[in-house]
Amino acid sequence: MQELTHYIGGAHVKGTSGRFADVFNPATGEVQAKVPLANSDEMDKAVAIAVAAQPAWAAVNPQRRARVMMKFVDLLNRDMDKLAEALSREHGKTLPDAAGDVQRGLEVAEYCIGAPQMLKGEFTDGAGPGIDIYSMKQALGVTAGITPFNFPAMIPMWMFAPAIACGNAFILKPSERDPSVPLMLAELFEEAGLPKGILQVVNGDKDSVDAILDHPDIMSIGFVGSTPIAEYIYGRGCSNGKRVQCFGGAKNHMIIMPDADMDQAADALVGAGYGAAGERCMAISVAVAVGNDTADRLIEKLVPRIEALKVGPYTSGNDVDYGPVVTAAAKANIERLVQTGIDQGAKLVVDGRNFNLQGYENGFFVGPHLFDNVTTDMDIYTQEIFGPVLTTVRAETYEEALAMATDHEYGNGTAIFTRDGDAARDFASRVQVGMVGINVPIPVPLAYHTFGGWKKSAFGDLNQHGPDAFKFYTKTKTVTARWPSGIKEGGEFSIPVME
């Protein structure tokens, strides 16, 4: 059985804690590798190496750092198939979906090639007699990221690409469920010319997370995962004086208006609700149909599409719509919530509970489910299911549908499907959610915009990638300069005033 490593100081390093986690093949349920779980001593070693390496990297001018990023992008394109296969093998998602995971991270790295432009400061000439004022954006030092299992390529790159482009060192603590791709990314970045110690991968669990949160030399922390863990990391990290951004759970609503193209809406819901087995923070898990007639027409369109979904291992190639969920525990939790929905009175229109795949009986596969007549007090509405389960809620009016998306404790993403421009503009303006799609089911912004939810979906003042990333990973220093030129002698004892 393969024993994975950490990546510290430019080399693969065996774990020394004596603790390991199982890495499963989600399609078969078999353990395919062991990943070491670092202790605080191992984390201290990685941080010490980062502290020593970072000043020289920060001293490299932004254009030359951008050239390394450019080469990294080239290598990502070269190894796309290899990365996608490794990702699918540990996560379970289909090969096209895995390649999309890598691609969306690659796009952020592409954006970071523009670091020289993003890192320019401001300058005021002649702010006072012989006085100039200018600002500089400088690296924080050692930064860290704690990333989830569902996007083991994309989310790490959303964090470490801008952090490194800004001149920081970065320590990545990826999910222990699918750690191989993060290790491969660190290798590729160094092949691109990144100095050793600037990007390190330390695998681990809560012990490693706490070591990051408490280490005095780590200046900032990024996190993506569940809301309870996001709250914990944000609170403990901030109390230790760190800059922290955390992104938590979601419950994304898609509003279907009576005038919507129902075929388009149904296709969008199937892709957004069941793609990647629903293990996406931007998955649509709640369809809000405005009016009973709209709901009836929508269900009629959805049922045959959902029943036709093909579920299987990634090795089946492009003949699969989605694969298994990541662990047996994830499968059990989805099945528990499905039963809760039935017990609380929702109508199970498409029942995936008896799904069985011949030859893969021990895999973590979950059949597609569709609920109708869901109400806002049911657990399947209030909780994030994170599986191939779509719930349909019937709203009497547009205002009621708008209120559902606005009032939910999560505010990550939402969408509206309509032909009415006034309704779309009103929805986009009034809904209290961070990312909005208009006839777009998964409104994930491109790399040059920022990604982030509201309410209990996000903690911190800045979003991921885009311009916000360069703000998060730098600190601003403002310099007021005066060069003596006929200035009278004598001390100044009052606050300087720019006359």
Q: What distance in Å separates the CA atoms of residue 497 and residue 499, rounded to the nearest whole number?
A: 6
Contacts of 266 (CB under 8 A, 6+ apart): 298, 301, 302, 305
Q: Which of 112, 166, 246, 281 is catalytic?
A: 281
- Cα 247 to Cα 460: distance, rounded to the nearest angstrom: 9
- CA 487, 488, 492, 498 dihedral sign is negative
Let me know if 281 is a catalytic residue. Answer: yes
Token output for 52: 């020593």
At 339 the three-state DSSP class reads helix
Q: H-type helices in 286-409, by residue range?
A: 292-307, 328-343, 379-382, 398-407
Buried b / exposed e across 24-55, counting CB within 10 Å, b at 16+?
A: bbbbbbeeebbbbbbbbebbebbbebbeebbe
Tokens 């806002």 belong to 376
Alpha carbon 492 to chain centroid, angstroms: 52
CA gyration radius, the chain: 25
Amino acid identity for residue 271 in this structure:
G
Give the H/E segment covering residue 187.
helix 180-191
DSSP annotation of 444: P
Q: Using alpha carbons, list the distances in angstroms from residue 237 to 98, 159, 210, 229, 464.
A: 31, 17, 9, 12, 17
Alpha-carbon distance 134 to 127, whole Å? 10
Q: Where are the beta strands (DSSP E) in 225-357?
A: 243-247, 252-256, 284-290, 347-350
How is 387-416 classified by DSSP, letter by letter?
SSEEEEEEESSHHHHHHHHHHSSEESEEEE
The answer to whether 405 and 255 are in contact (CB under 8 A) is yes
Nearest in space to 431 (alpha carbons), one of 313, 255, 277: 255
Measured CA to CA, the distance from residue 413 to residue 341 in angstroms comes to 23
CA quadruple 140, 473, 231, 235: dihedral sign: positive
Write down the residue that tokens 């919530």 correspond to: 337
What is the Cα–Cα distance from 312 to 128, expressed in whole angstroms?
A: 70
Which helix (H) or strand (E) segment is 288 a member of? strand 284-290
Catalytically active residues, by annotation = 281
